[in-house]
Structure 1
Amino acid sequence: MDNALYVGLSRQMVLRRQMDIVANNVANADTNGFKVESLITKEQPGAPAFTLGGPRPVKFVGEDGVARDFGQGALRRTDAPLDLAVEGQGFFKVNTKDGERFTRDGRFRTDDTGRLTTQAGDTVADDGGGEIVIDPQKGQVTVAPDGTLSQGAERVGKVGVFQFANLSVLEKRGGNLYQNTSNQQATPAESAKVRQGMLEGSNVNSILEITRMIEVSRAYESTSQMMSAQADLSRSSISRLGRVQ
């Protein structure tokens, strides 16, 4: 196998990964708070299989991580009192059995003890990191734009909304949750607004992602054709060389 086939194979591996990411974006077009992702690529210099007067090193294609667009998704009204959306930069903090997590998915409910939780049962943190407990006997819950929860004239707590100076420290951990993978501390998102009775939709542009899917598919097919043509050329060259000898 010559250098062109090695380079083509590296390109195909990246295209397969890119297709997986695009397909995941399309699948999550209706997921609350989902953030669209894209693949980052880079050149990977490598020693050539064999070359005579060719480039050294040969430039292969490699994956260099996944970029995530944390831009605002559209807000959709549900009128459910415990559905909350963050308008602006910021995340709700969730306390799970595996530690702190952050999310933009505000589909909250209360458990048997009145604690405010996610649909998975993880507790939603207040602005100090503690739990928020709601007494159903005290009436309807109202949430102010600063996250303050009230039942009538009584203040129940305040939903914490936190932000990061560098969003690249957040990594997906499943369940629409992110984990802080650094020592960077989350700080209160003072400019963010909490909207009650609303949910933030995905910021995926379905038409754009389907267009990307077509582009990736065509690029993969084009690379396959190039590799096939290169293999045919190599076989032809070897055959001719054998007849000459």
Structure 2
Amino acid sequence: MDNTLYVGLSHQMVLRREMDIVANNIANSDTTGFKVESLMQKTDPRSPPFALGGSSPVKFVTADGVARDFGQGALRRTDAPLDLAIEGQGFFKVTAEGGERFTRDGRLRTDEIGRLVTQGGAAVLDDGGGEITLNPEKGQVSIAADGTVSQGDERVGKVGVFTFESLSALEKTGDNLFQNTSNLQAQPAAEARVRQGMLEGSNVQPILEITRMIEVSRAYERTSRMMDSESELARRTVERMGRAQ
């Protein structure tokens, strides 16, 4: 019976982690460029210390990583000249503290020296890996669908949009940024298009996430009831054995 309680406890630990992920999805349903996440699970067979006619091995529940849906979020118009959205697969490359990062968050601005940066201050890189600097005296900024940045008749640079052969290479690092944790090299996203004056919304579907939250909550309650029943059965068994003696 102890094995049953341990299995139930392992399931509850995974459910609590899943609840945290679902709650984070809901909290970021309005975050620009946020990608919905889900928890993967697997069984972890372990041999029990003893099994009096019970099943062997005992299969515990454990988390098997976090899956991320990089599907396109809805584009909304802002008409702000430094708001950019990527239509299609790809990421802006930026340089932040700790090295190169990638993001879909196109809420850009200029810093005190005119560099094009994210809201967090990470410099946006062009297609060759250099920074893009704007001069307010040169007029309005125009950004074409291929990422070319112009001021008046002068070409200032080209916003780089990159992708990977496998998006599993990217790991979330916070501040809506991703880090390449593999040996894969970022490649130009030739089919992606940059949309000026627009932002990509989160691809979270709040109704689905609320439904998931309810399902996780109910699963946790069912597991708790099962564990309570097993504990009660063990208590009664001990009492009966004590009276028999």
- TM bucket (normalised to shorter chain) is over 0.9
Looking at structure 2, the residues matched to 129 and 3 of structure 1 have their Cα atoms a distance apart, in angstroms, of: 56
User: Partners in 1 of 2:83 and 2:23 — Cα distance?
Assistant: 28
Q: CA deviation at 1:152?
A: 1.4
Residue 218 of structure 1 aligns with an amino acid whose one-letter code is R
Q: What do the CA deviations read for 1:215-235 (whole angstroms, capped 9, x no partner)?
A: 000000110000000000011
Equivalent-residue separation in structure 2 for 1:96 and 1:3 (angstroms): 48
Matched, 1:168 2:168: yes
> Cα offset for 1:51?
1.8
Equivalent position of 1:15 in the other structure? 15
Work out whether residues 2 and 50 of structure 1, in 8 Å CA contact, stay in contact via their aligned partners in 2: no
Cα deviation for residue 242 of structure 1 reads 1.3
- Where in structure 2 are there 5+ consecutive unaligned residues? none
Separation in 1 of the partners of 2:36 and 2:97? 27
1:173 match: secondary structure: strand
Q: Which letter does structure 2 place at the counterpart of 1:147?
A: G
In the alignment, structure 1 segments of 5+ residues that lack a partner are none
User: Aligned to 2:223, what secondary structure does the other structure show?
Assistant: helix
Root mean square deviation, CA, Å = 0.8
| Residue 30 (structure 2) aligns with | 30
Deviation (angstroms), 1:111: 0.9
Letter in 1 for 2:219: A
Q: Write the mapping of 1:1-245 to structure 2, written as runs, cut at 5 A.
A: 2-245=2-245
How many angstroms apart in 2 are the aligned matches of 1:31 and 1:151?
A: 30
Comparing 43-52 with 206-215, greater Cα deviation is found at 43-52
With normalisation by structure 1, the TM-score equals 0.98
Separation in 1 of the partners of 2:215 and 2:39?
Answer: 14
Q: Which amino acid aligns with 2:89?
A: Q
Give me the whole-angstrom Cα distance separating, in 2, the residues matched to 1:169 and 1:188: 15
Alignment partner of 1:131: what SS? coil
TM-score, normalised relative to structure 2: 0.98
Shift of 1:169: 1.1
Alpha-carbon distance, 1:153 to partner = 1.3
- Alpha-carbon shift at residue 50 of structure 1 (Å): 3.6
Aligned sequence identity (%): 72
State the alpha-carbon separation in 2 of the partners of residues 90 and 195 from structure 1.
Answer: 13
Maintained 8 Å contact 1:2/1:49: no
The one-letter code matched in structure 2 to 1:90 is G
